[in-house]
Amino acid sequence: MRDKLAQYTMFIILLVVGLIIVSPFLWMVSVSFDRLANMRIPFPPTFIPEELGAFNYGIIFENGRLLRAYLNSTIVTLASVTLQVSAALLGGYAFSKGTFKGKKVLFLFVLATMMIPIEARLIPLYQMFNAAGLLNTLWPVIVPSILYGFGVFLCKQYFDRIPDSLREAAQIDGASEFRTFFQVYLPLAGPIAATLVILSFMGNWNEFVWPLVVLNDENLHTIPIFLASFSLENGTSLAGMTMALATMSVVPIIIVFLFFQRYIIQSIALSGIKE
């Protein structure tokens, strides 16, 4: 009886906490469907629109800037995710199964990159891409993403749990190191790869500071920059449209997360990471 009571109590607590966490998002969606919110923000906050309709979404999609920003964010995010996940898997495999001098020291340098905030790298990166003549292109946003120390760390922890005997058997059969990775270890790395895709997608889609520095051309703005500029131009006078833009900006993240979420717990459990 006590166990059931404890389970019910825990369920109610988690339900309440979950509703509190989700409530800002639900309010954002509600305001986005409220046409009158462009004249005044509903206060106190309500989850039922005063005038329900898709008016705000129709207006923001009539503006070609949103579709252009979506295209830019899609290009940047897909390219960055591909580079980050590929580099993390290869790096994690090398640090886990490779045998070369200075491996531990080099791995410490990789971990050290996690401690350097983007603010400390803005000026050097800006000067480097400025000297290369790549400012106001998407390249400065895509290329630095290959440095993904956290992803390398996760992959190393994951590959450490896979027996070395698989690599030894492949080498006995005459397989090269790359063939061993792609044909033996990579097929087993689905859970950690899916987790990296989620984390990388969220990080790159929501990236704001660095793209704001290097993308001065309005035609190259990504979704976060476009949303910020729209909010700055209109303030709270067009709250309904602003919330519609915000809702559309998180839809791709929700889709990717729902598609890959089942792999997160599995990959963390297999990587040996504990709280």
Q: Does domain 63-271 have CATH number 3.30.110.70?
A: no
| Axis-axis angle for helices 239-260, 223-234 (nearest 10) | 160
Decide: helix, strand or coil at residue 64: helix
Q: pTM for the complete prediction?
A: 0.82
Question: pLDDT per residue over 153-191, tens digit each?
Answer: 989 988 988 888 888 888 888 888 888 888 888 888 888
256 neighbors 68 (Cβ within 8 angstroms): no
Domain with CATH 1.10.3720.10 in the chain: 63-271
Beta-bridge partners for 52 = 34
- Model confidence at 142, in pLDDT bands (50, 70, 90)? very high
Q: Alpha helices of 98-219 — where are they, by DSSP H? A: 103-112, 118-131, 139-142, 149-160, 165-172, 177-180, 190-205, 209-214
pLDDT of residue 275: 39
pLDDT at 272: 47
Angle made by CA atoms 128, 224, 199, in degrees to the nearest 5 = 80
Whole-number average pLDDT of the chain: 84
pLDDT of residue 235: 62
What percent of the chain has a predicted confidence (pLDDT) above 90? 16
